[in-house]
Amino acid sequence: MNAYQRTAVVFRREFRSYFQTPLAAVFLVIFLFLAGLFAFNIGDFFGRGTADLRPFFQYHPWLYVFLVPAVSMRLWAEERRTGTIELIMTLPFGTTDLVIGKFLAAWAFTSVALALTFPMWITVSWLGSPDHGTIVVGYIASVFLAGAFLAVGAFLSALTKNQVIAFVLCAVACFLLLLAGFPTVLDFLRGWAPLGVVEALASTSAMTHYESMMRGVIDMRDALYFVLVIAAFLTLNVFAIDWKKSD
Amino acid sequence: MHRREEYYSRFMLVLRDLHKCFGSIVAVADLTLEVNTGEVFGLLGPNGAGKSTTIAMITGLLTPDSGTVDVLGLGSPTSAAVRMHLGLAPQEITLYADLTARENLLFYARLYGVVNARARVEELLALVELEARGNDRLATYSGGMKRRLNFAAALVHDPKLLLLDEPTAGVDPQSRNRILDLVRQLASEGKTIIYTTHYMEEAAKICDRVGIVDGGRMLDVGTVAQLVTRHGGQSSVAIERAGVQTRVLTNDPVAEVTRQFAIGGVTSVRVEEPDLEGVFLALTGRSLRE
């Protein structure tokens, strides 16, 4: 059996597990409700008089700060709590396949949640003539952002057997990852920090790259940022699992 | 045959000077052990003796501070080649409560790349007598049923070396007997089994050899008969005459009973052979259940 097949086995088991608990239903309902609330009420979807989904996408980072940790918190913390990690760690292959399989399942699950917002696209298309390319890139950006946050959450989940701690750590880490590129923070830093530092900080922020993609253009630097964040945190996840395998 | 090959055809597992500390606590101290291919080896000791830590080092879950673990002459259990030959049934239930028994076994069978995984799963469910409950979620199982399934999961890839860590702890008598029968059956099929327990009756019943462990140290290794001969002391003959009981310690209980009957007036006689409890008491100065 090769690595792809093993990853597929882990993916199938993990993806199914979301739907065997109330987690999937609760997550999907809350995500769809909040996505709609932010877009229509706070984002003033109808009042803007523009046929686009910007009010919908612009609140995704803040939604993900709280909803992605709810998905990622159980990835490894649950395996530790129940002791199933003990048997998994004696399997005759490395932890990379397991880490990738679990991550992809969580990513696919959040992507399903995002896919269920397609009626918004249909609505805006019915109301006017939106730029479909921008909407497609908006969805891609949102998927990338969820992936980055999930990778961070998966790594933090590997450090503890307590899901609540994993949730809080992930929410804080994702919040900081957004905050680093927030205009208020950057403006404050510009007052006293060297420009290079401010730009470096802004470039590490998920918000900077997400906002950039929301303009409707896929800049390779933005895509590469998300890919690198995912790869870096999944690598850390592998190390964390190996480091704490007997805990 | 080369000497090395000859050596490893005889020994399934070789532990050399294994040492493991957790902070200032010595969990396993300079443990050396050779487990013969095809034997049931019992690690007997009280809770906290270092049995589970030893098992964790054999499976590669823990890295020893010093010393080596060699399985089948293939080296350390961190390698995939070695792990293919190891089957572990840990002390805790390590299966998914949200999956059925079939799904649990199928998950592991597929990860191990077992050919005809479904057929293997059915075979194992029959072996642990859970076919009828195969489609029920683990969460609905009794403790004993979970243990039997835990056992089955360790066998999914047909390993040569089976590590059973307290497999009968806290189970009902029916499941306990089934597990002990399974150990005997697997041993007769040629599997090498390491069986940790703090139940001396189990160790005496199913193990070819037993290692007495306490405080992380291997105090002695041998067959039950050898250990009893070395450390068990003398047999005890309890004789009752006219309501008065006396006890005589002897190396030859048959001769002693004959002698007592020759004296006459015996109303009852009971011979108590030395056992592993006595061995443990002699080696550690305390009872196994203390």
B86-89/B161-165 β-pairing:
parallel
Q: Write down the mean pLDDT value for chain B.
A: 88
Residues B33 and B141 in one domain: yes
Residues B84 and B161 in one domain: yes
Instruction: Say if residue B287's pLDDT is above 70.
Output: no
Q: Residue B111 and residue A86: Cβ atoms within 8 Å?
A: no
Residues B117 and B247 in one domain: no
Q: The domain containing residue B70 runs over which residues?
A: 3-229
Judge contact between A73 and A163, C-beta under 8 A.
yes
Determine the pLDDT at residue B230. 84
Highest mean pLDDT (candidates A191-195, A228-232, B129-133, B272-276)? A228-232
Domains identified in chain A, total number: 1
Residues B140 and B242 in one domain: no
Residues B142 and B259 in one domain: no
Residues B98 and B37 in one domain: yes
Domains identified in chain B, total number: 2
Neighbour tally for B114: CB within 10 Å: 19
Distance, C-alpha A243 to centroid of its chain:
24
Q: Residue B113 and residue A5: Cβ atoms within 8 Å?
A: yes
Residues B59 and B169 in one domain: yes
**What residues have CB less than 8 Å from B56, skipping those under 6 apart?**
A246, B62
Determine the pLDDT at residue A246. 61
Mean pLDDT of B226-249: 83
3-state helix, strand, coil in chain A (%, to 5): 80, 0, 20
Residues B136 and B247 in one domain: no
Does the ipTM exceed 0.85?
no
Neighbour tally for B52: CB within 10 Å: 21
Residues B152 and B255 in one domain: no
Query: Does the residue B253 lie in any domain?
Result: yes
Query: Does the residue B144 lie in any domain?
Result: yes
Amino acid in position B79:
S
Query: Does the residue B52 lie in any domain?
Result: yes
Mean pLDDT of A6-24: 89
Residues B94 and B238 in one domain: no
- In a mutational test of the B interface, the residue from A2, A9, A19 whose CB has the highest number of chain B CBs within 10 Å is A9
**Higher model confidence: residue A44 or residue B183?**
B183
Determine the pLDDT at residue A76. 92
Chain B residues bordering chain A (beta-carbon distance below 8 Å) = 56, 59-62, 80-84, 86, 88, 90, 92-99, 107-108, 110-113, 153
Least confident of A93-102, A155-164, B242-251: B242-251
Mean pLDDT of B184-209: 90
Size of interface A-B (CB pairs under 8 A): 67
pTM: 0.84
Q: Specify the residue for token string 């008969």.
A: B225
Least confident of A133-142, A238-247, B158-167: A238-247
Judge contact between A128 and A209, C-beta under 8 A.
no
Instruction: Say if residue A128's pLDDT is above 60.
Output: yes
pLDDT above 90 as % of chain A: 44
Structural tokens at position A74: 């159980």
Residues B90 and B170 in one domain: yes
Amino acid in position B124:
L
Query: Does the residue B85 lie in any domain?
Result: yes
**Closest chain B C-alpha to A20 CA, distance in angstroms:** 7
Query: Does the residue B129 lie in any domain?
Result: yes
Q: The domain containing residue A51 runs over which residues?
A: 3-243
Q: Please classify residue B248 by burial: count the beta carbons closer than 10 Å to its beta carbon, then call 0-12 exposed, 13-18 middle and 19+ buried.
A: middle
Query: Does the residue B7 lie in any domain?
Result: yes
Instruction: Say if residue B8's pLDDT is above 80.
Output: no
Which chain A residues contact residue B99 at CB under 8 A? 13, 17, 20
Residues B125 and B30 in one domain: yes
B192-197/B40-44 β-pairing:
parallel
